[in-house]
Amino acid sequence: MPSFVDRVTLHVSAGRGGNGVASVHREKFKPLGGPDGGNGGPGGSVILRVESDVTTLLDYHHSPKRRAEHGGHGAGAHRNGGHGADLVLPVPDGTVVTDTRGNVLADMVGPGTELVVAAGGRGGLGNAALASSKRKAPGFALLGEPGDEIEIVLELKVVADIGLVGFPSAGKSSLIAAISRARPKIADYPFTTLVPNLGVVTAGDTTFTVADVPGLIEGASEGRGLGHDFLRHIERCAALVHVIDTATMEPGRNPVDDLDVIERELARYGGLEDRPRLVALNKIDVPDGRDLSDIVIDDLTARGLRVIPVSAASGEGLRELTFAMAGIVQAARAEKPDVETTRIVLRPPSADGRADFTVKETGEGWRVRGEKPERWVRQTDFSNDEAVGFLADRLNRLGVETRLVELGAVEGDTVLIGHPDNAVVFDFKPGLDAGAENLARRGEDSRFDESRPAARRRREIQEGLEERAEGETRADVARRLRDPARGGASGPSSYEIGGADDPDWAEQDPDA
């Protein structure tokens, strides 16, 4: 079982918002006391938070799917649903969050930094919130929205001040153990270190962290050995320290060639050319190691490098090395601005990149995309005709129907709203007829019931008002339209059941 994991793929799902409720207040002697349906609660969000005591992504390696809590449904008596609890996932300092295509979403540095990677769905409104002066008793409520669902990649890049690089068995782990309280595994065979080791070092008034990268060999940047997996952990280091083995028994190796090999791998990996370098010639406690160190120190110094002979076993030269590291760290910190704790919220762009909507003709029909239309469709209960009529009113006010007519859509055409994978399909029945206003009652839509005589009667009266004579009232227009002798329609018509004594007609015609 792995004990250190620095890259995982995580599938996160935010909570769904609760549904609003359609309810009517009832009490003794007051059976219809008005709408009192509460709103649904918002779903919980999935939040990544940097925690200083977390050093690995191991938990997410074992459990790669995480889900936040759903919001509660609304209830009568104006009771709103409860908020779904947020799911907070702790991650190590230096975690880079990307999507599955490699696009960087956030670089999380600094304890307390948060990333809302999946926002919870909004709760649906109850009928109390939907009531207005013209819609006094809505018989419907809005549904809660689903929460965001996303697959992300978490990649840990250790936040250390100094990075130790070098061949296997060069003594990097021994060096960290000698200058800090870290206790890495140490043995006399290559690739002893399988995970990056971190140590905290104090030199004078400066405290800094040191990390070593295991398994750097020739070809590491191309995937050989273990270095390819761990080179990312030195990207944030302020300086690099080459730990060179001066007492190696391998034939054909010498300190200068070892330095050149590692530098080539770092150059191929890229992005590390501007980091200051130190060279630690290790194992000078061995007689042959000290002799070889004396031979190559001038050549390395001539390259502009600061070279410090050290021995992790005897401690010789370690004080000079740690103070040299501290000097570089101090200079880097002075130039670097302070990292403040931030809270990052991912806001996915609208489906069409615009704030309103777009309409495009496709082989399947007219496709409507936009944040508002798609959200409104998700919130609609299609089993309730009044809710569907409310959706049609909203789309009409936004200008969707007008835009469809402008582009040439005709009655009966297929209209799809939403992403191609889960679009809602409608048959286009525009509420505009030659520019006339749709006079359906609030909460109703004539497109779902075109046979209502009262609706046709009101529409014809409204059209007749445009040609009325001076002093002619709305009631006069209605009588004229009913009287064939005055130019009205002959034969049986909807007006035969209406008139001045028709309650519905009188209600719509206050001048009668």
380 is in an annotated binding site: no
Residue 94 DSSP label: T
State yes or no: pLDDT of 440 exceeds 60.
no
Q: What percentage of the chain carries pLDDT values higher than 90?
A: 27
Distance CA 504, CA 453 (A): 11
State yes or no: pLDDT of 71 exceeds 60.
yes
Tokens of 188: 């006399």
Residue 365 DSSP label: S
How would you write 210-228 as a 3-class SS string?
A: EEECCCCCCCHHHCCCCHH
282 is in an annotated binding site: yes
Whether 1-156 and 162-335 share one fold: the answer is no
Contact 440, 135 (CB under 8 A): no
383 is in an annotated binding site: no
Identify the pLDDT of residue 58: 83
174 is in an annotated binding site: no
Q: What percentage of the chain carries pLDDT values higher than 70?
A: 79
Distance CA 130, CA 107 (A): 42
207 is in an annotated binding site: no
Identify the pLDDT of residue 487: 55
Mean pLDDT for the stretch of residues 432-442: 41
Distance CA 305, CA 240 (A): 11
Give, in order, the Cα–Cα distances in Å from 168 to each of 2, 199, 221. Answer: 21, 18, 15
191 is in an annotated binding site: yes
132 is in an annotated binding site: no
170 is in an annotated binding site: yes
Angle at 27 between CA 24 and CA 31, to 5 degrees: 60
173 is in an annotated binding site: yes
168 is in an annotated binding site: yes
448 is in an annotated binding site: no
Residue ranges per domain, the chain? 1-156, 162-335, 349-448, 451-512
Confidence of residue 428 (pLDDT cuts 50, 70, 90): confident
pTM of the predicted model as reported, rounded to 2 decimal places: 0.64
499 is in an annotated binding site: no
Residue 363 DSSP label: S
192 is in an annotated binding site: yes
332 is in an annotated binding site: no
Looking at every residue in the chain, the average pLDDT score rounds to 80
311 is in an annotated binding site: yes
202 is in an annotated binding site: no
213 is in an annotated binding site: yes
Confidence of residue 145 (pLDDT cuts 50, 70, 90): very high
Contact 495, 481 (CB under 8 A): yes
247 is in an annotated binding site: no
Distance CA 480, CA 484 (A): 8
Distance CA 262, CA 364 (A): 58
Distance CA 473, CA 487 (A): 17
Contact 216, 166 (CB under 8 A): yes
195 is in an annotated binding site: yes
Give, in order, the Cα–Cα distances in Å from 379 to each of 258, 270, 441, 446, 477. Answer: 65, 49, 22, 21, 42
45 is in an annotated binding site: no
Backbone angles phi, psi at 88, to 5 degrees: -100, 120
Distance CA 202, CA 330 (A): 12
Identify the pLDDT of residue 484: 59
Q: Closest Cα partner for 15 from 81, 62, 64, 69?
A: 69
254 is in an annotated binding site: no
Give, in order, the Cα–Cα distances in Å from 271 to each of 67, 236, 274, 509. Answer: 37, 10, 8, 78
Please identify which residue in the block is written with the tokens 């083995």.
245
Torsion of CA 462, 467, 468, 473, to 10 degrees: 10
Tokens of 75: 């209830």
CATH of 1-156, one of 2.40.160.100, 1.10.375.10, 1.10.10.10, 2.70.210.12: 2.70.210.12
Q: Give the DSSP per-residue string, 377-433.
A: HHT--TT-HHHHHHHHHHHHHHTHHHHHHHTT--TT-EEEES-TTS-EEEE---S-B
Q: Domain 349-448 classified CATH 3.30.300.350? A: yes
With a CB cutoff of 8 Å and minimum separation 6, the contacts of 410 are: 428
Of the listed ranges 140-149, 188-197, 499-508, the least confidently predicted one is 499-508
State yes or no: pLDDT of 26 exceeds 80.
yes
Level-2 CATH architecture, domain 162-335: 3-Layer(aba) Sandwich (3.40)
